[in-house]
Amino acid sequence: MAIGIYDSGVGGLSIWRELQVRLKTRLIYFGDTAHVPYGEKGADELEGYFWNIMNFFRSRGCVGAVVACNTTSTLVLPRVKDKVEYPVLGIVEGAVEATLAAGNGSVGILATKATVESGVYQRALSEARPDWQVYAQSAPRLVPLVEGGQVEGKKAEEAVREYLEPLLAKGIDTLLLGCTHYPFLREQLERAAGSGVRIVDPAPYIAQRAEAIWPQFSQGGEYLGSEFWVSAKPEAFRQTAQKLLGTEIKHVHFHEDVEEGK
């Protein structure tokens, strides 16, 4: 038995690192690196990847899955949720909960183009707190930077500043990291946002929800390790993941069936 976790690439590792200390079972991480970035793709295409990856997880003995991607959680999960035979946990509800707990009247959302355009976070936060101001900004250059392991240095610093500027100009007090890649840029984001802005990484809230959905893996048992799989460039993924997580990843498997047309 295992739980599957997936994202377009390394971003979902920001959720995996919380889950691996909380879920006492085997974890199977899948980075769909043949199709990264997801953030500018449409719902039909992303749904195709979703089903391929669910099939893969089933073939590896998974009894549940975490969609560690805001874009897929936003565009695909509402269409497929009742059609999967095991529980599937997305990011949106946990991220909204985390933001409501941290917010103080003026919230900025940093996310992919598709997530921002869906309006899912803007709607959920405005419904829960009509008295709050909510602003959203897409940040298309950040995912390629994280995928390339370029989380320090001038390029990352400039991109983060550029995307935060319009939100800071609105006087936000809280910033939701609405893409699972962005927690790996946390230092840059903190520096650019300054101490007056609380940064919300929803990962702990997602892990709490995972514990509630799979109590059999949170109350007993033992962590049985993780497998890492990708649909392209396993060695590049291994190196970037090691850099971002600061831990050794011995092997990354290549699973070609998830590639287009197979």
Select which of 5, 69, 107, 167 is catalytic.
Answer: 69
Nearer to ligand DGL, 27 or 145 (CB): 145
Sign of CA dihedral 208, 91, 224, 83: positive
Report the residue from 69, 92, 107, 176 that binds ligand DGL according to the rule CB under 6 A: 69
183 touches ligand DGL by CB under 6 A = no
Report the residue from 71, 99, 138, 174 that binds ligand DGL according to the rule CB under 6 A: 71
Nearer to ligand DGL, 91 or 107 (CB): 91
Structure-block tokens of residue 99? 């933001």
Select which of 53, 179, 203, 210 is catalytic.
Answer: 179
3-class DSSP assignment, residue 64: strand
- For 48, what's the count of Cα atoms within 13 Å in the CB-facing half-sphere? 12
What is the bridge-based pairing of β-strands 26-31 and 88-89?
unpaired
Nearer to ligand DGL, 7 or 18 (CB): 7
8 touches ligand DGL by CB under 6 A = yes
Our answer to whether residue 62 is catalytic in this structure is no
CB of 146 to ligand DGL, least distance (A): 8
Residues 184-223 that bind ligand DGL (CB under 6 A): none
154-169 and 186-193 helices, crossing angle to 10°:
50
11 touches ligand DGL by CB under 6 A = yes
Contacts for 260 with CB less than 8 Å, ≥ 6 apart: 34, 35
Using the structure block, give the residue that is written with the tokens 């079972």: 25
Report the residue from 13, 143, 230, 232 that binds ligand DGL according to the rule CB under 6 A: 143
Sign of CA dihedral 24, 25, 26, 31: negative
The Cα 64–Cα 80 span in angstroms is: 14
Tell me the one-letter amino acid at 175. Answer: L
142 touches ligand DGL by CB under 6 A = no
Size of the site for ligand DGL (CB under 6 A): 16
Report the residue from 2, 7, 116, 174 that binds ligand DGL according to the rule CB under 6 A: 7
Q: Point out which span in 127-135, 179-187, 222-230, 245-253 binds ligand DGL (CB under 6 A).
A: 179-187
Using the structure block, give the residue that is written with the tokens 């059999």: 216
Our answer to whether residue 179 is catalytic in this structure is yes
Report the residue from 4, 37, 94, 103 that binds ligand DGL according to the rule CB under 6 A: 37
Choose among 163, 170, 175, 161: nearest CA to 107: 175
Burial level of 112, CB count in 10 A (0-12/13-18/19+)?
buried
Tell me which residues touch ligand DGL (CB under 6 A).
7-8, 11, 36-39, 69-71, 112, 115, 143, 179-181
Annotated catalytic residues are 69, 179
